[in-house]
Structure 1
Amino acid sequence: MPDNNYSSLPLNTWYVAANVEEFEVHNVIGRRIAGRPIVLWRSAEGNVHAFEDSCPHRKAPLSMGEVIADKGLRCPYHGFTFAGDGRCNGVPGQEKVPTQWRTNPYPVIERYNCIWIWLGDPSRARDESSIPAFMEFGIEPYNVRSGLIPVDADYRLLVDNLLDPTHAEFVHRTSFGSSDLSAAQGPARSESRPQEEFESTIEEDKISFVYRLINSRGGPCFRKAYSMREGELSDKDNIDYIMHVEWQPPGLFSYCIDLNSADSTDGNHLRLVNLHILTPETEQKTHYFYRCSVLNDGGQDSILDYWHEIDRMAFNEDKAIAEGQQRNIGDQDLFADRSLWARGSDQMNLGGRRILQRMS
């Protein structure tokens, strides 16, 4: 595997390289991942392969090429063809191909409607533990919306963001639209506020937290989503909002938001699901894949369309903040600045950075 010392980004992990549905449009995709130029292609037999996006002959981008049914991936410059195992199996005008002519393939897995790639030590690629089970929300029988947002910022800034629920009432005023969705991470700030609980778990290799806002207004978008299933809510109708978050480093997040009538015990909550999938393009750019779904929607498919619209708005609000941070810090690591202020509620950010540092 070529090691051109691209960056200090984690390599011994499975990254999402593409959404499966991207291959419905093109069967050859060029994408830079963790600093490395990669070509992904689906063979005529339906298998996805990944090489360095550079023909060993004259360094032409293989992603500009095409798939030939009985040969594999064809270079756009001189027509060299490559089988899925990286072997060069055809050179126009040349009867024999030297057996040593090959490009090294990267390990890939197609799972949960994503294409995963391993860029590090190939002998460790058999360990699939960094592909968490919560990614199952990306497949049937769940009704899913998915997409990819390019972000001109270090993926770690987005990890910081997603491990920090306190930003929601400020960054997401337009999308979520409620100051009631702040995580005080302690007792309610006054008796007039809804019951608010926050608990987090920082482990050696992952972080999770739960935020509960009981008997609350719940925020306009959440009230609307819930009312789309239950019927119009009156001003006196409060809801319970419970958010479960799990982070599998370096960049996989599961957000599950459960909505129910205030103090209900029937377990018939509306569940809004978000998967945030952060794949570093370079040290200052990120492929932000996402998936959203709705469970227990009572047959109201319009809830998912609405939730997808809100999600897209919120993702772009986070994108604007992260890109603004990146412009300010340039090519430096945010946490290299020792003058940064620190709040007591920044512990998950600090814990997350320590985990990522160990992975680098």
Structure 2
Amino acid sequence: MSERLDATTLLADLIRCPSVTPAEGGALALLDDVLTRAGFRVERPVFSEAGTPPVENLFATIGSGAPHFVFAGHTDVVPPGDMTHWAQPPFSGAVHDGHVWGRGAVDMKGGIAAFVAAVTDFLAARGGAPGTISLLVTGDEEGPAVNGTVKLLAFATERGHRFDAAIVGEPTNPVALGDAIKIGRRGSLSGTLTVHGRQGHVAYPHLADNPVPKLVKLVRRLTAEALDAGTEDFDPSNLEIVDLAVPSPAWNVIPAEARARFNIRFNALWTRDLLAAWLDSRLAEAAAGEISYELELETPSSEAFLTRSEALIGTLSAAIAAVTGRTPALSTSGGTSDARFIKDYCPVVEFGLVGKTMHQVDERAAIADLEALTAIYRRFLDLYFAA
């Protein structure tokens, strides 16, 4: 590939691929073509598991030896919603008013376009890779996250690859490019609490057993007090009720059961096992042997993690400062990402575009930010491989 790859053009082309989870939509095929022409060895494994849709992924690598650096991301996107509400069609990749418009522009085809453009420019300038550079791209980040990065990492490891550091191109900046690097994430644990009763007529409550007040009592106990006050590196842990369901078919029927679904975002003070014990203790205390219930915790869950690597964090911070003049905050706030899988293989951080419009109608990426992000990734590669 002789001419310089333009991140804006690549992003527009990627957006035109309707890769709504779990569809590949042509996005990985496009990247395959671009990367193969740049000299990468590209593999596109499809992973599957019972109860989940099969997902196509991409693993591309170039060079050999250490250090082995990884850029990671996902081409799958969330649905666009009502397309008539968009100022520009969500899969048009329209370049308008200084932005590239469309679903996935920010989360996170923009990050992918930027790091592909940066890597190919770096390789052209250096005449090849001064170590190894790999790209891990999944189509399952917005979905169940079962047939994506977690299996792609195992796939690469089975082929002898050992990674030294990674950047995930998720949109990390709240207001302006250079605001923040994500150096860790809180863990996530979801569960369903079901209270059993006995169905009956509302006019004869003594012949029934209403589970709803009992569920309310248990939920009240789980939400009565904070899990913790946070740590130096993490926000406080929080338990949020996300759904209450009472499958009652009529106004005059006392239901047989009631359910509550919840999610806990937890910091490094907790693990899945500690939270399971905490939940069991609080529920048993509130039930007092008089409420019949079941607690089911979802698998997989993710543990909290924190990256401490000057070679990664310091180098990326220096690249951000050189391009934007900003000193990024080191953050662990927000939701989860596929960094939770990568951290088991090498130090990992997240840095990408400004996330204001992600998952929204009229999602769009500023071209100036896209160009600056490409320059940051390019500067990072120079600094990292010069060390």
User: TM class by shorter-chain length?
Assistant: under 0.3
Higher relative contact order (CA 8 A, sep 6+): 2
Relative to the length of structure 1, the TM-score reads 0.25
Relative to the length of structure 2, the TM-score reads 0.24
Instruction: Determine which structure has the larger strand proportion and give its number.
Output: 1
